[in-house]
Structure 1
Amino acid sequence: MSDFDRNPFADPEISNPFQDPSVTQIRQAAPPGLEEYNPFTDGKPAPPGIAPRTAAPTINTQPAIMKPTEEPPAYSQPQEQSGAAAELLRRQEELERKAAELDRREREMQSLSASGGRKNNWPPLPEKFPVGPCFYHDITVDIPVEFQKTVKIMYYLWMFHTGTLFANMVGCLAWFCVDASRGVDFGLSILWFLLFTPCSFVCWYRPLYGAFRSDSSFRFFAFFFVYICQFGIYVMQCIGIAGWGASGWISALTGLNRSIPVGIIMILIAALFTFLAAMSLIMFKKVHAMYRTTDASFEKAQQEFATGVMANKTVQTAAATAASRAAQGGFKEQI
């Protein structure tokens, strides 16, 4: 057990292994200058017996780039991006067009105010005519850009309505020529032409024109009430009950039994009344949809009626006169 407790490095004979005779002989046989040789320095020459150290080749540290054999295809924008860009360009053009339209309208209003106000220009009557125009009508000046198309369609529809009433008068005249008992229809057709032509312009087209011009809720409601009645009249004229002065389908079939040419004319007029009824319903729905996008409401219509109609001096005078007469009549009855 004593051998296991002995420290071999504590033996004085082997305390320094580098002092061993075999090691010292190898160190003395080593070529001179080897101890001073540093392989990591390039400045010192290599000791004799050792090949000189060559410089390490420089390595290119740039990343490798592969050259394609074909040019990549040109980048094309997706269809969604091109569609969005086209939509933005369209909106920009629309805004620029609206701005130009507003500038033009402002210049026209300034010129009109400088010349003393605008003059009535509708109906376009000759200057030597004894009766002058009654209204000022200019859609491009009075109506905002987004509503101009609708108002123009309604104006053309009113002109078509007038032409249909005139054609109805001609058809009833032809019917009266082949059947002498149809004088009532011819007379009523003349009355409808003379009555409905100005009344339709004043009662539903002008309220529509004024509603879009000034965003008037009261005018919108007036238009809706009158125009739904106008649609009912179109339906009755389209049916063409005999004795009502309309060349509708029933009247056209009756006239076809008496004369084929007259019947064909009346069928064409019945088709015109049918077209008017269909277009009236379509435009009624379109105007109502546009009305809902505005600030108009039934409460605003009541306020406009109270501040407009009831504040009119003529209405106030008539109401005061009627009230005074009623009070005088009640006082006399009491006496």
Structure 2
Amino acid sequence: MSGFDSNPFVDPMDIEPFQDASITQVTSGASENTGEFNPFSANDMGIHTGTTIPISAASSQPAILPTSVEQSAQANASAGQANLIKQQEELEKKAAELERKEQEMQNRAAGRALNTGSKENNWPPLPSFSPVKPCFYQDFEEDIPEEYRRICKRMYYLWMFHSATLFLNVLACLAYFTTDPQYGVDFGLSILWFILFTPVSFICWYRPVYKAFRSDSSFSFFFFFFVFFFQVAVYIIQTVGIPKWGNSGWIASISMIGKNLAVAVVMMVVAGFFTVNAVLAVILLKMVHSKYRRTGASFTKAQQEFSHGVLTNPSVQSAATSAATSAAQGAFSRNQRN
């Protein structure tokens, strides 16, 4: 019967591969050893305890931090060195600029000393056919250093405005005189002030300040301050306008309002010009004084320049020689008489 129990339609080569004895033994052994894995169990932790890396060992060997610190220190050192180099270059530029200015002043002074006789006077700018020739040499670009050039030109403009005001004062006093003949004194004095104060102001306070800025002369500075202080006082007196003093000031112009309004207006304009002169004179005096304090001038230098100028002046030397000669001759003649 056993022969009839088998399936006659089954291929005798078609055998279940997993029913092989060797494979069945292996799979059964693996299933017995395989269990649920718990990484936190005591047995499993004991297996891996020997391979754990301590924290101290891992943190005691940084790989990037020393390199970054060293690079930042080098960068700071390089930046500091570059800053020092930049400051040194700026100081060298300033020193070179000061040396250049000093050399220009020395060259300018040497040029003036060499060309004093060769330069022709160019002020006042008169035509070539005029019988009167220029009396002074004036060149702001060549003579005056750049830092003093502007204030020196302003002093020149003040002198020109001063001269124009004196001329207008003559016209105002003329109108004043035509209104009332008793004010003829003012008209005559106004002509005198214009003829006298125009050249005197140029020689006594403008040329000294020009020379002071040109050659850094302490004596010229002190002479200018002394004279210009009195010029400011004169401006104030002219602004006030005391009658019969030859000035068309505020008092004289206001007194003419009731007599002749047109003449009063003309005189008020001139009084305003005198006021502007006084204000500008005070402002420029302060500005010149501030420039003077930066030049290093002093009263001791002024005394030395004055004594040196007096001793080296040919006129003074000739006068002293003639005086000494006459005194010696007089003493010799007295000795012969005795």
TM-score (norm 2): 0.65
Aligned pairs (5 A) from 1:76-155: 117-155=118-156
1:271 Cα deviation after fit: 0.9
> Matched residue of 1:130: which SS?
coil
> Structure 2 CA distance, aligned partners of 1:111 and 1:217?
18
What amino acid is the match of 1:276?
N
Cα contact 1:162–1:197 (8 A) shared by 2: yes
> Matched residue of 1:120: which SS?
coil
Which residue in 1 is equivalent to 2:299? 298
> Matched residue of 1:258: which SS?
coil
Which residue in 2 is equivalent to 1:315? 316
* Paired residue total: 256
1:309 Cα deviation after fit: 1.9
1:323 Cα deviation after fit: 5.1
> Structure 2 CA distance, aligned partners of 1:288 and 1:111?
25
In structure 1, runs of 5+ residues without a counterpart are 1-62, 64-88
Q: Describe the superposition over 1:108-138 as per-residue Cα deviations: whole angstroms up to 9, x where unpaired.
A: x979979983211000001111111111101
Q: Please, which moves more after superposition, 158-167 or 307-316?
A: 307-316
Which residue in 1 is equivalent to 2:240? 239
Pairing 1:278–2:272 present: no
What amino acid is the match of 1:147?
Y
> Structure 2 CA distance, aligned partners of 1:154 and 1:141?
17
What amino acid is the match of 2:211?
G
What amino acid is the match of 1:288?
H
> Structure 2 CA distance, aligned partners of 1:201 and 1:150?
16
> Structure 2 CA distance, aligned partners of 1:114 and 1:245?
44
> Structure 1 CA distance, aligned partners of 2:290 and 2:303?
21
> Structure 2 CA distance, aligned partners of 1:274 and 1:243?
19
What amino acid is the match of 1:296?
A
Runs of 4+ in 1 over 6 A off after TM superposition: 109-116, 326-332
> Matched residue of 1:302: which SS?
helix
Q: Please, which moves more after superposition, 161-170 or 283-292?
A: 283-292
Which residue in 2 is equivalent to 1:178? 179
> Structure 2 CA distance, aligned partners of 1:324 and 1:171?
56
Q: 1:211 to 1:111 in 2, by over 3 A?
A: closer
> Structure 2 CA distance, aligned partners of 1:238 and 1:111?
40
Which residue in 2 is equivalent to 1:252? 253
Which residue in 2 is equivalent to 1:228? 229
1:256 Cα deviation after fit: 2.1
Cα contact 1:179–1:258 (8 A) shared by 2: no
Calculate percent identity across the aligned residue pairs. Answer: 51
Q: 1:276 to 1:326 in 2, by over 3 A?
A: farther
Q: Describe the superposition over 1:2-25 as per-residue Cα deviations: whole angstroms up to 9, x where unpaired.
A: xxxxxxxxxxxxxxxxxxxxxxxx
> Structure 2 CA distance, aligned partners of 1:323 and 1:245?
47
Q: 1:111 to 1:249 in 2, by over 3 A?
A: closer
> Structure 2 CA distance, aligned partners of 1:280 and 1:221?
16
Q: Describe the superposition over 1:86-120 as per-residue Cα deviations: whole angstroms up to 9, x where unpaired.
A: xxx9xx99x98x979x87x969x979979983211
What amino acid is the match of 2:185?
V
1:257 Cα deviation after fit: 2.6
> Matched residue of 2:271: which SS?
helix
Aligned pairs (5 A) from 1:28-107: none
Cα contact 1:184–1:243 (8 A) shared by 2: yes
Q: 1:324 to 1:252 in 2, by over 3 A?
A: farther
Which residue in 2 is equivalent to 1:218? 219
Which residue in 2 is equivalent to 1:53? none
> Matched residue of 1:256: which SS?
coil
Q: Describe the superposition over 1:278-305 as per-residue Cα deviations: whole angstroms up to 9, x where unpaired.
A: 1111111111111111121101111111
1:321 Cα deviation after fit: 3.5
Which residue in 2 is equivalent to 1:269? 270
> Structure 1 CA distance, aligned partners of 2:158 and 2:314?
35
> Structure 2 CA distance, aligned partners of 1:326 and 1:176?
56
What amino acid is the match of 2:301?
K
> Structure 2 CA distance, aligned partners of 1:183 and 1:324?
53
Which residue in 1 is equivalent to 2:51? none
1:320 Cα deviation after fit: 3.8
Cα contact 1:240–1:250 (8 A) shared by 2: yes
